[in-house]
Chains A and B, each alone.
Chain A
Amino acid sequence: MKKKLTFIILLFLIFSDFLETFVNFCFKKSAQNADTLEISSFSGFIIFIKAVFLSPYLWVALLTVFLIFIIWSTILSKIDLSVAVPIASFSYILVPIASIIFLHEKIGLLRWAGIFFILMGVIFVSLSTKEEGAE
């Protein structure tokens, strides 16, 4: 049996949500570096990848991915996946909010509705893990 969700684990989970959002923000920033490139051939793709990898944002993102991996491995040794994933899916809300604030993207009502559905779906999918374990 795994331990219950403690306050510290919850803090770590929320922290990793913010890190996840930060990672995607950095990925987007590094890709923006090269968004004027038209890619019609494989060599064009290589040029694109080169441009992206020259961006410091990408390296910050990859380091953060590694950090998230460590935090998650630790979290999952303490609590069940079915508890961790619904809390982690908080990032489906955080990323759009960060997109509005930092990237000046616009999000309509229909898209928020879609995001809400996805969030519901992720929670349902992960809650069903628990039942399987109990059966």
Chain B
Amino acid sequence: MHPKLFFILFLIMLTSICDTINQLFLKSAINSIEVPSFSLKKIFRFIIRLIFVPRIWLGFCFTVISLFIWLFVLSKADLNFAFSADSMHYIFIALASRFILKERLNSKRWLGTFFIISGIILVSLS
């Protein structure tokens, strides 16, 4: 494999990790306040309260970093390759859910994660 490909894959990994961190902040911020029932007014109030949770903004910082790296990746790599490889965030989210949030993952989810890894390897080889 080309060294440049490794660099691009590494950057895609960074954006995926930033996305995962953002998801973790989002999840913990949402968990910290009461989840509304589904009326438009309550959802609106829910979003207003969410905006005042500091963790949301920490997550947002990571989204911005992720966007910047992503734009750089797209300037160097084919869109179809980058988009496919970006699916590795499913892997990081699975790992983070397991080891940070201590959620239990069943065999189907590990199998799915394995499929995604195989897919990314195939996409990178071509």
| Interface check A59, CB cutoff 8 A | no
Asked whether, in the complex, the Cβ of B83 is within 8 Å of the Cβ of A92, the reply is yes
**Contacting residues, chain B, for A24 (C-beta < 8 A):** 79, 83
Whether the Cβ atoms of B108 and A128 lie closer than 8 Å is yes
| Chain B residues touching A, majority SS | helix
User: Across the two chains, which residue of chain B brings its CB closest to A32?
Assistant: B75
User: Nearest Cβ distance between residue A4 and chain B, in whole angstroms?
Assistant: 15
B108 touches A110 (CB 8 A): no
Known contacts A117-B115, A118-B119, A121-B112; A92 and B75 CB within 8 A of each other: no
Check if A49 sits within 8 Å of B84, measured CB to CB. no
CB <8 Å contact, A48 and B112? no
The reply to whether the CB of B72 lies closer than 8 angstroms to some CB of chain A is: yes
Q: Are B75 and A34 in contact (CB under 8 A)?
A: yes
Q: Is A115 an interface residue (CB 8 A)?
A: yes
Q: Are A111 and B109 in contact (CB under 8 A)?
A: no
Q: Contacting B108 at CB < 8 Å: which of A25, A96, A124?
A: A124
A 98-110 to B, binary, CB cutoff 8 A, 1 in contact else 0: 1110010101111
Task: For chain B, residues 66 to 108, give those with C-beta under 8 angstroms from any C-beta of chain A.
Answer: 68, 70-76, 78-81, 83-84, 87, 90, 94, 104-106, 108
Across the A-B interface, the 9 shortest Cβ-Cβ residue pairs = A124-B112, A114-B122, A117-B119, A121-B115, A121-B116, A114-B123, A118-B119, A125-B112, A110-B126
